[in-house]
Amino acid sequence: MRLRDALKTLTLSLVGLSSIALADEKPNIVIILTDDQGYADVSYNPHSPPEVSTPNIDALAHSSTICTHGYTSGHVCSPTRAGLMTGRYQQRFGIYTAGEGGSGVPLDEVFIPQRLKPAGYVSGALGKWHLGLTEEYHAMNRGFDEFYGFMGRGAHPYFDHSDMDHPIYRGLEPIKEEGYLTTRITEEAVDFINRHKEEPFFLYVAYNAVHAPPEAPEEDIKKVTGDETRDILMAMIKHLDMGVGEIVSSLKKHDIFDNTLLILLTDNGGSGAMHANNAPLRGFKQTDYEGGIHVPFIVSWPAQLEGGKKCDVPMWSTDLFATALDAAGLPMPKDKPLDGKSILPALKGETDKLHDELYWSSAGANGKWAIRSGNWKLVAEKKRIELFNLEKDLSETTDLAAKHPKVVSQLTTKYNTWLDEMADPMSKQGKRWTPNAGALAKNAPAKNMTKEEKKAAREQAKAERIKAREAKQDSQTPESSK
């Protein structure tokens, strides 16, 4: 037991106070973000099929709070990450699509670690970044002290890391790497915890599992479903679950688990291309039905939150910024006001509502948007608008739009008022769908990079790294040797 813990135990025995009353140490904060994991691809979900087995995630869930109405702010990868890292609607700064988010969050937006650093936090980002391709958008230029992972594209091979146009980075430098990427991310997470166990830390573990491509160690792929992709997905989930277990075990080993705020969620709904299971929800990734945005969402903080509970209050990924600041005892920023709110009052049973409404929009080119207000949810795609009562119909099977036109009108007005406050999309497409929205988007000068532009950006970044390395070497060479 560490000295500080021994002293705390002694003090408690003398004065008979609860550990919570004396817990003046700042908590560690760990966010584990999985990728494209299905709502029913965790076996604590009673709707999960028999092939799903996630014993470590289940153990964490049952000792924590399961947030039954946990959402993401995007139905694809990078918009959710942009909202999570800033605590603001990503649409406020023009990010509506994966391409826009992957091109980079504006540099005047502030990320979580930048707010935590003045309070003494050391921060590490691991795995999938997907918030910019070039060095100015790198995690270590957005407040993180350490980075291991990849910057661009949603997908990355799990075994072959030889493409140095899409490399694995350690810090700012691309490295040659070997090993199954899910395992390597876990190893890096455990190493980070081992090295920083004596100081408050923020660790962001963004697994690319279980995003495509379907790849897993051959010995772990079992023919259990008759569906090859689904069978590989189960092996990928096995390694993801093992990783969660090792991170939790490492925190417990160092006696810091109880004072760690650990949040596990998925970046969007399960992917149809990977044969994910989102039961009982409708739809998949890339839709605003529940199956595209309603995700596994678990919160653990034994020192402050009673475990073995469920919380039915709607909350979402954008709330994690404010939650981290609240847990660390830090004030909410005034220079960049947050749209997210701390979820701690809801988890403690102090409130039954965090947001009046939740909004989703991927702008005009595909015409998809949604709003949840109370138990009502309006889902739109181009000309189609559907209304659901989630309290009675979580699976969104019965469209009530024709029966409740006033509700449709009210929610549409609220959505339009919200959208008017948001920035124009970076890609120059319109905010709202029109019959020619797709054509306009294709002809617009796009901030969203083409494949050729992304390659050019990577080549430019590579050239800049070589130049910086040469300049550093030159500065370290004795004058007499020049």
Catalytic center residues: 77, 130
* Contact (Cβ atoms closer than 8 angstroms) between residue 363 and residue 60: no
Tell me the C-alpha distance between 337 and 419, whole Å. Answer: 17
Q: Where are the beta strands (DSSP E) in 173-305?
A: 173-175, 201-206, 260-266, 297-300
| Residue 67: DSSP 8-state | E
Phi/psi region, residue 108 (left: phi>0; alpha: psi -120 to 50; beta: rest), is alpha
Count CB neighbours of 194 within 10 A: 11
DSSP β-ladder status, 315-316 and 70-71: parallel
Cα distances (Å, whole numbers) of residue 130 to 37, 124, 240, 454: 17, 15, 19, 13
Name the strand (E) or helix (H) holding 315.
strand 315-316
Tell me the C-alpha distance between 362 and 425, whole Å. Answer: 9
Tell me the C-alpha distance between 315 and 471, whole Å. Answer: 48
Angle between helices 55-62 and 228-253 (to 10 degrees): 50
Count CB neighbours of 17 within 10 A: 11
